[in-house]
Amino acid sequence: MKLICSDQHRGHDALYEFNRGRLIPALESPARAAAILGALGEAGLGAIELAESFDLAPILRVHRHDYVAFLQGAHAEWSALGRGGDALPLAWPVRGLRDDRVPRSLDGRLSYYSFDIGTPITAGTWTAAKGAADAALTAARSLCSGRESSAFSLCRPPGHHAAFDCYGGYCFLNNAAIAAQYLRDHGSDRVAVLDVDYHHGNGTQHIFYQRNDVLFASIHADPATDFPYFLGYADETGAGAGAGCNHNFPLAAGADWAAWGAALDAACRRVDAFAPDAVIVSLGVDTFRGDPLSSFLLEGDDYLRMGARIALLARPTLFVLEGGYAVDEIGCNVVNVLRGHADAA
Ligand code: Q9C
Ligand code: ZN
């Protein structure tokens, strides 16, 4: 299995996030990636290689040009205003009011291009996000060359909440979507994205919602109770040419392997029916019973079962890291998915 990481992730090191009305140390931290690297090093699944650097073209296949330019310069603009700390937005458009004009001020643009207050921009955020996209692209390239049948990219910051022109949920560039588009542009006619993160992948759904060449299937906490709140219901099935190519499996709080594994089976049957040339797994392990954001109850061994079920798809598969915030167990849980996949493949 091809294993790819980026050194740039450390530069994205937010100070705080809001949690229940208070500021707490940011959950999406460099320690997450360090823990996964440590576990991967001991797992013997293969050598861990550094991402190669791509130009912006594959990112701009998914994200709007002005949005990427904003991300590149946002923190420097923040500092130039004499401000310390991390850049955060202040306000969002109200339902039914105009949202088509990009404000001129930095504060206006931070608000325009975001959808939550929980995603700080730091001095190293752009470089880290670019490195994460490079990791996903490097892994994707190893699949489309046919040299590898499976790969893992250790992406930090994560990506599945980011849409064409919008960041949030700790995500800036949609690494899985960028990799899916790259595979489409390099010989794959159909790509499936299977999102197993605890949260709905609203960004990935949005990006591919009108398309029939990229299927999106996601298992996640019910948006009626959990972030990202406004997307992820079962009746969102795609639109236009993409009608029937979006499959959401929202689950109630308390889902254990019995409930979660049944949803995975249903999602995998949708992926099978689509007959994709490649599968991208948005791999969050925040479904873990001990995760600070999770109401689900998956145990360590369940991640072996997850990998084994995904292996039954018998397609070239790219695992892209998303969430998972129980730092002491994140390494073992991620390795278990990859090991379960490798042993069953
Ligand atoms: N302070 C991913 O798993 N809400 N993003 C957190 C607690 C945002 C999760 C609220 C959760 C975003 C990639
Ligand atoms: Zn998540």
For residue range 7-24, list pLDDT tens digits in order.
Answer: 999 999 999 999 999 999
Beta strands in 128-286 (DSSP E): 150-153, 191-195, 214-221, 246-251, 278-283
Residues with CB under 5 A from ligand 2 (ion): 197-199, 284, 286, 323
Spacing, Cα 44 to ligand 1 middle (Å): 31
114 forms beta bridges with: 167
Name the DSSP letter for residue 53.
Answer: P
Q: Is the CB of 118 under 6 A from ligand 1?
A: yes
Find out whether 286 and 324 touch, Cβ atoms under 8 Å.
yes
Ligand 1 site-directed mutation target among 12, 19, 196, 227, most atoms within 8 Å of CB: 227
Model-level pTM greater than 0.85?
yes
Residue owning the nearest CA to atom 1 of ligand 1? 19
pLDDT digits (tens, 9 = 90+) for 148-166: 899 999 999 999 999 999 9
pLDDT in tens, 99-114: 899 999 999 999 999 9
CA of 170, closest atom in ligand 1: 5
Which pLDDT score, from 0 to 100, does residue 104 have? 97
Ligand 1 pocket member 322 (CB < 6 A)? yes
Q: Tell me, using a 6 A CB cutoff, whether residue 195 lines ligand 1.
A: no
Mean pLDDT computed over every residue of the chain: 97
pLDDT band with cut points at 50, 70 and 90 for residue 145 = confident
Instruction: Report the pLDDT value the prediction gives residue 146, as an integer from 0 to 100.
Output: 81
Residue 345 has pLDDT above 90, yes or no: no
Per-residue pLDDT for 37 more than 90?
A: yes
* Cα-to-centroid distance, 68 and ligand 2 (Å): 23
Question: Is residue 147's pLDDT more than 90?
Answer: no
Active site residue 161: yes
| Mean pLDDT, residues 300-311 | 98
Q: Could you report the per-residue pLDDT of 230-269, keeping only the tens digit for each?
A: 999 999 999 999 999 999 999 999 999 999 999 999 999 9
Distance, in Å, from the CA atom of 163 to the CA atom of 114, rounded to the nearest integer, reads 10
Q: Kindly report the protein residue whose alpha carbon is nearest to atom 9 of ligand 1.
A: 169
Q: Which pLDDT value is given to residue 148?
A: 87
pLDDT digits (tens, 9 = 90+) for 72-127: 999 999 999 999 999 999 999 899 889 899 999 999 999 999 999 999 999 999 99
For ligand 1, whether the C-beta of 197 sits within 6 Å is: yes
Is residue 19 lining ligand 1, measured as CB closer than 6 Å?
yes
Beta strands in the chain (DSSP E): 2-5, 16-19, 22-25, 48-50, 150-153, 191-195, 214-221, 246-251, 278-283, 317-321
CA distance 341 to 345: 6
Q: Residues 9, 12, 161, 341: which is the catalytic one?
A: 161
- CB of 227 within 6 A of ligand 1: the answer is yes
